[in-house]
Amino acid sequence: MRPTTLDRDQQVGLGQLKVLTNLLPYLWPAGRTDLKARVVAALVLLVCAKLAIVTVPLVLKAAVDALTPAGLGAGLGEGAGQSVATAAVALPLGLLLAYGAVRVAALGFGELRDTLFSRVSQNAVRRVALATFRHLHALSLRFHLERQTGGLSRAIDRGTKGIEFLLHFTAMSVIPTLIEVGLACGILWVIFDWRFALIPFATIAGYVVFTFKVTEWRIEIRKQMNDADNDASTKAIDSLLNFETVKYFGNEDHEARRFDSALANYERAAVRSRSSLSVLNTGQSLIIAVGITLLMVLAAQGVVAGTMTVGDFVMVNAYLLQLAMPLNFLGTVYREIKQSLIDLETMFKLLHSDAEVRDREGAPEIDLKKGEVIFENVSFGYDPRRPILKDVSFTVKAGNTVAIVGPSGAGKSTISRILFRFYDVLDGAVKIDGQDLREVTQASLRAAIGIVPQDTVLFNDTVGYNIRYGRPSASEEEMREAARLAQIDGFVAGLPDGYGTMVGERGLKLSGGEKQRVAIARTILKAPKILLFDEATSALDTKTEREIQNNLREVSRGRTTLVIAHRLSTVVEADEILVLEAGRIVERGRHDALLVRGGVYAQMWARQQAAVEEEPKPAAVPGSAAE
């Protein structure tokens, strides 16, 4: 059964109410007495400011009545002119001074309130953004592979801005305005009669209903704008991150067309949004104008009938002007408040996204002694309907090196992701020193393992920062030693800014081999008990590969090492080689024994050796010694 419009509206309302409920703990944080005191003080100042502002028309009425002939000459004879003149100077001056003082007090209370509350609101923005950022890092690799980074970034950015807007205009403007409207209507009713309260109330009710209906229509347009904006942003970021690929295939025009298509969708939605805003503003102005006119006519009739003074007429006018200004303001920001709620709802959905891989409650840190790694009958698939690993079992004894080889798609890199517990296995268990990885904290597990991945991504910072990322607390000397072991110190020495050289977005300014050596250096600096090399030298030339293999051999000595490799020449000295095919281990043993067996490994070795022999030799340059 499809939900009705009312059901959907109720769901939206409940969702936005939940957003406000989720936000409250950040405004009243546990253990922060200073911030709670600021909230209380801000509320007191809010009430003081509104009491002062509704007093302004009352003081103005008294001053106007004092200046009218009835106020000055009532009960005086012809010889009392001097007394009247004296009263005209003294009494209105005092009231006018009081009028100015009350207005200044209202402004002062409001500014002091905003100053006190600003620390509360900014602290809430910071804590929500940090909580969301931390939670995104706690989510599974699957979540990030299925999401687009540009969209996530925009969701957090809009969400934090939404908090600022919502707190500033709702807590410090919308609610105070409603208080002011209630006080003004009450005063008009008490001083005059119910009609003077009913007209402003009816005007406000009509204004709110109209604004709500039109804004709901406009919100759908805003959603379309946001979707188009996210799409354009994601396409732009994705294209720029793959700058080289775009250039390789000459697809600049293709990328421009894709980006322009997204911008065109945004353009259409933006035009509709602006047209609908004109409808909203025109209707709001009409409602306010009708209400003001009716109330002024009612007050003018009272003056003519002698039941109201000129001061009363001016007071009614002053109240209307005071109410009209914030009402117009409310209409302008209502859409933004609704949009802020939507943006906040999106961010809180991210914050409450379920982490596929999580630590069990009270999980201890891993007790790493020897560093023995055991895979026991492990089966896994990113989609349970399509298994990748099937009943895989092997042991990497402490201090030994085990290599995993096999064709592309056999599941080699999946083993590294499972070892880091980016995913939990479907069947079987992975253990380190007898401890199931699901029973220990993820942080302690990953601190114990160092990896050099096949696809190295660097931060857009300096070479030194990227090396030190392996252990941020490392000294300059330790960082340089790691660079030396990774055979990158000579390259860095030739850079104009040395270790302070910026590497560019994702390391774009470095070659593939240079990026790989930076990755090796930061893993060396981490000094983990267990090492994992996932095609660690795949991007290096043969000479550099041999040099780094020697260094890696030194680094891995005494450490449990798992090597995932395509080039079999890099794993000939491994204590054991596992041959993975279609998710199963089909052969295992040392290099020489596997060659003698003449199975899958021997065939792979023969193909790779033949490919190396068939590589064309560099052509001799005419006139050179090689010619």
DSSP string covering 72-117: HHTT--GGGHHHHHHHHHHHHHHHHHHHHHHHHHHHHHHHHHHHHH
Q: Are 509 and 503 in contact (CB under 8 A)?
A: yes
* Residues 486-533 pLDDT 10s: 888 888 888 888 889 888 877 778 877 788 888 888 888 888 889 998
Domain spans in the chain, listed from the N-terminal domain onward: 19-73+86-351, 366-448+532-617, 455-527
Q: Which of 23-27, 98-102, 574-578 has the lowest mean pLDDT?
A: 23-27
* 240: pLDDT strictly greater than 60: yes
pLDDT at position 374:
93
CA–CA dist 16, 22 (Å, integer): 10
pLDDT at position 67:
79
Identify which of 31-45, 191-205, 268-282, 580-594 has the greatest average pLDDT: 580-594
pLDDT at position 617:
55
User: What dotted CATH number matches 19-73+86-351?
Assistant: 1.20.1560.10
CA–CA dist 111, 511 (Å, integer): 56
- Scan for tokens 């030396």, then name that residue: 484
H or E segment and range at residue 588: strand 584-589
Angle between the N-to-C axes of helices 175-191 and 33-67, in degrees from 0 to 180, rounded to the nearest 10: 30
Amino acid at position 176, single letter: P
**Which pair of structure tokens corresponds to residue 159?**
């969400």
Question: What architecture is domain 455-527?
Answer: 3-Layer(aba) Sandwich (3.40)
* Residues 270-297 pLDDT 10s: 888 888 888 888 888 888 788 888 888 8
pLDDT at position 403:
92
* 390-402 mean pLDDT: 92
Report the candidate in 479, 481, 451, 474 with the shortest Cα–Cα distance to residue 463: 479
* 1: pLDDT strictly greater than 70: no
* Residues 155-167 pLDDT 10s: 777 777 778 777 7
CA–CA dist 162, 169 (Å, integer): 10
pLDDT at position 88:
44
* 432: pLDDT strictly greater than 70: yes
In 242-375, which residue ranges form alpha helices assigned H by DSSP? 243-249, 252-305, 310-351
* Residues 260-272 pLDDT 10s: 988 898 888 888 8
- Scan for tokens 């052509």, then name that residue: 619
> Percent of the chain having pLDDT more than 70?
85
Report the candidate in 280, 289, 26 with the shortest Cα–Cα distance to residue 132: 26
* 228: pLDDT strictly greater than 80: yes
pLDDT at position 8:
41
For the chain, give the mean pLDDT. 80
Question: What architecture is domain 366-448+532-617?
Answer: 3-Layer(aba) Sandwich (3.40)
Report the candidate in 180, 196, 173 with the shortest Cα–Cα distance to residue 55: 180
Same topology, domains 19-73+86-351 and 455-527? Answer is no
Half-sphere exposure of 247 (CA within 13 A, CB side): 5
pLDDT at position 3:
43
pLDDT at position 84:
46
Amino acid at position 514, single letter: E
